[in-house]
Amino acid sequence: MNTPRVNSELIGNFKGKTVRIVGRVLSSMEDGTTILESSDGGQVKVKLTSTNGFQQDLYVEVIGKVESDMSIIESSTVEFGDAMDIDSYNKMVLLSLQFPDLF
């Protein structure tokens, strides 16, 4: 399935759609909610279904459906570790929307 890559600024364009977002875990709550700092520096609330949370400062990619409140309901997650060039990733997000056939 081809899922668009988004950041916090772009997420509103994809309500009801499945997207992928990469960010740094800011916090994980006991209710299964995680707050990510997206590649553009904004915050996104993720409602986890596959785990209860992630280690703080871990980079993750979440694939999930965008809800009307701009949160994401996770369908899968990949952990990327604790170091990532997030600025370059954000540039790739913007390029992927400009040139979708390449991604």
Query: In this predicted model, what pLDDT tens digit does every residue of 41-96 receive, in sequence order?
Result: 999 999 998 776 788 999 999 999 999 999 999 999 999 999 999 999 999 999 99
Entry pTM:
0.91
Count other Cβ atoms within 10 Å, centred on residue 79. Answer: 13
The set of residues, in sequence order, having a beta carbon less than 8 Å from that of 20 and lying 6+ positions away, is 3, 4, 5, 6, 61, 62, 63
pLDDT of residue 65: 98
Least confident range of 1-5, 15-19, 51-55, 73-77: 51-55
Domains of the chain with CATH codes: 5-102 (2.40.50.140)
> What pLDDT score was predicted for residue 54?
85
Residue 1 pLDDT level (bands cut at 50, 70, 90): low
